[in-house]
Chains A and B, each alone.
Chain A
Amino acid sequence: MGLLRFVSVRLLRGLLTLWFAVTVTFFLVRLLPGDPALAVASPTMTADQRAQMLSDFGLDEPLLVQYATYLGQLAQGNLGISFRQNAPVLDILLERLPWTLLLTGSSLVVTLIVGVPLAVAAARRQGSALDRAVQVGGVVGQALFVPTVGIFLLYVFGVWLGWLPIGGAMASDVYGVAAYGSILAHLVLPGLSLVLLQLGPYVLFLRTSLIEALSEDYTNVARSKGVSETKVVWVHALRNALLPTVTLVGLQLGFLVGGSVLTETIFAYPGIGRAIYESVGQLDFPVMQGAFVLLAATVVVANLLTDLMYGLLDPRVRQT
């Protein structure tokens, strides 16, 4: 029953993370200087609307009562009303969530597909020109300022070469297969910039883990048994190096999802990140809060999935 216990521990931890995210936002908004009513009620709302929101979220009650009310409202899916758009925050964000999932999910997959062979190649020839190039490349990728890179990519591929569209997630008059093509075409540039940004951490991490694994006893044993070096690397070392990498995926998810703010903004991609950008300009606090809570929930769910994968991968987990 090791797996069941493993899963329930992870589930509990996910819930804890979510609770923490929600609690942090709640207290930040209320304890920072400024009008706490701003968290739920806009100065431009009508008096009735304002009173309704204030009482929905119990703003006239003591802090702990407010907190309980807030959790209760969240549990019912009430993230408040957008100041600017006059619509429930959850509705606004759920329209946008699929695009963010698509963008971040696909860029993660591409990162791993490109990153693993690069790391293996670098680790096998430690100190070679290739190794150095991979290290520098990984480091440079992390240091890129996304909007500048984004404008450059848009200019080259959108205007100059004219191969790819400039903004949005899909064209308006496309159907069936063409719709998939359009979605893909719109995905390429923002996806590419996210891949560039996060390839570095994975490659560098995996490279170091591989180098360590290659000097471990078990790889030496495998070599002494006459196993080919390719197999030693790709099978014995990689398998052990991949496990911590799966953990890294979990750690990096928050960064990846958070990084979508700048990426979606510059590429005019209609995801949650751009909703955050727009809400900043309008000080639309309920949308900012809701977006964070929803993104945190996304990360929690994705982490649960990676944990499960980890459990399936790692014999120690399966057997205990």
Chain B
Amino acid sequence: MSIIPPSGTAEDAREGMRTEAVSPRSRTWRAFVRNPFGLVSLAVLFLIVAVALAAPLIAGEPGGYSADVLAPPSAEHWLGTDNIGRDVYNQIVWGARTSLAVGLGASALAIVLGAAVGIGAAYFRRLDTPLGMLIDVMLSLPILPLMILVAALAGPSISTLVVVIAVFSWPEVARVVRSQALPVVDLTYVNAAHVIGAPNRWVLLRHVLPAVTPVIVVSVVLTASRAVLSEAGLSFLGLGDPSSWSWGTILYNAQRSGVLASAWWTALFPSLAILLLVVAATLTSLAYNDARNPRTRGDSAR
């Protein structure tokens, strides 16, 4: 997945800094709340994180086996059981931990890399052309086959997955951060700060970083949710970590035991968990971007 919907424009950034009457942040927040998707999807995200944190309290630890093989959903097994009688609900609840850990880990790493490259490209003009080119090239490559190659070479483990996903997810972050940082660097007072001899670090910390923080926040959510999807895809292809539970592992087991179609619950529920996470994350960031952009925010239209 590579597309983050267009975020605020240059005018947006400038406007935000000029208008003092209503702070841009609270205006954004009000617009976010007005969007019916915004709050609901944010709440869903929190819910998923809460489930992952509370796993030991709300579900038995998956593992072992039972004679109750491939039982459909029932009062005893809410989401049915898999091919060796393990409860699917337990697996999904505990799987949320691994999936989110992989997602957040990969996202954090990708954000650091992406933000560094993005800000670097925007701020140091001589680097802009080569870095911009690098970002474009990375974005245009078919990433999944490359991830597959690397994961297969490095051998399956959680840390492999995190690194592989991160290494191929940062360009998207870099692209967004760069486009957000460029207009800020151009602003007259940033230039002025430069002229009066403020050190690079000060300018970056004081002016550029605050300006790109919102897109970074959005990127964390979005990149993490997509990392979860990538993890599921890689696991499904047999490149997951066999000794841990993740949503991808559940799907891989369902595929391996040949019951994808007949025991639909083994595949449907983990897929729904992934769907819910990715949709909630994407809608949250969409609503946030819409709320930040004065044009899509809708107050100019009305």
Contact = CB atoms under 8 A, between A and B. Distances in A.
Q: Are chains A and B touching directly in their complex (CB below 8 angstroms)?
A: yes
B180 interface: no
26 contacts: A13-B133, A16-B133, A28-B153, A32-B154, A132-B36, A139-B283, A143-B282, A145-B270, A146-B233, A151-B261, A159-B261, A204-B5, A205-B6, A208-B5, A209-B6, A211-B296, A212-B296, A215-B300, A251-B3, A252-B2, A254-B139, A255-B2, A258-B142, A265-B237, A273-B145, A285-B152
Q: Quick one: which of B146, B155, B237 has the most chain A CB within 10 A? A: B146
Contacts of A159: 261
A299 B141 contact: yes
A251 B141 CA distance: 8
Interface in B93-133: 133
Query: Lowest 7 A-B CB distances belong to which pairs?
Result: A143-B278, A258-B144, A258-B142, A148-B271, A201-B3, A145-B271, A292-B145
Nearest to A211: B296
B6 A208 contact: yes
B153 A21 contact: no
Contact of B148 (A149, A254, A288, A299): A288
Interface in B263-295: 267-268, 270-271, 274-275, 277-279, 282-283, 286, 295
A14 to B, nearest CB: 9
A283 B149 CA distance: 9
A87 to B, nearest CB: 20
A74 to B, nearest CB: 16
Interface of B: 1-3, 5-6, 9, 36-37, 133-134, 136-137, 139-146, 148-150, 152-155, 225, 229, 232-233, 236-239, 251, 255, 260-261, 267-268, 270-271, 274-275, 277-279, 282-283, 286, 295-296, 298, 300-301
Contacts of B283: 135-136, 139
Contact of B137 (A20, A151, A276, A277): A20
Interface in A83-134: 126-127, 132
B207 to A, nearest CB: 26
Nearest to A34: B153
Contacts of B144: 255, 258-259, 261-262
A25 B275 contact: no
A295 interface: yes
A187 interface: no
Q: Quick one: which of B141, B277, B296 has the most chain A CB within 10 A? A: B141
B239 to A, nearest CB: 7
B173 to A, nearest CB: 14
Given A25-B146, A208-B296, 16 more contacts: A21-B141, A24-B146, A28-B150, A139-B282, A142-B278, A143-B275, A143-B279, A144-B275, A204-B5, A205-B5, A215-B300, A251-B3, A261-B148, A273-B145, A285-B152, A288-B149
A188 interface: no
Contact of A148 (B3, B155, B238, B268): B268
Interface in A287-305: 288-289, 291-292, 295-296, 299-300, 303
Contact of B260 (A29, A151, A248): A151
Query: Could you tell me the dominant secondary structure of chain B's interface residues?
Result: helix
A149 B142 CA distance: 22
How many A residues touch the partner, as a band? 35 or more
Contact of B237 (A250, A280, A300): A280
Interface in A144-186: 144-149, 151, 154-155, 159
A278 B55 CA distance: 36
A280 B140 contact: no
Nearest to A144: B275
Nearest to A35: B153
Nearest to B294: A215
A154 B142 contact: no
B145 to A, nearest CB: 4
A258 B1 CA distance: 10
A34 B134 CA distance: 27
Contacts of A25: 146, 149
B267 A151 contact: yes
Contact of A261 (B6, B145, B278): B145
Nearest to B143: A258
Contact of A255 (B1, B153, B277): B1
A28 B274 CA distance: 30
Q: Quick one: which of B5, B268, B300 has the most chain A CB within 10 A? A: B5
Interface string A1-41: 00000000000010011001100110011001110001000
A235 interface: no
A291 B6 contact: no
Contacts of A226: none
B194 to A, nearest CB: 31
A158 to B, nearest CB: 10
Given A24-B146, A280-B238, A262 B233 contact: yes
Contacts of B152: 280, 283, 285, 288
A51 interface: no
Contacts of B142: 253-255, 257-258, 292, 295-296, 299
A280 B300 CA distance: 53
Given A251-B3, A295-B145, A211 B237 contact: no
A65 interface: no
Contact of B37 (A13, A16, A136): A136
B229 A285 contact: no
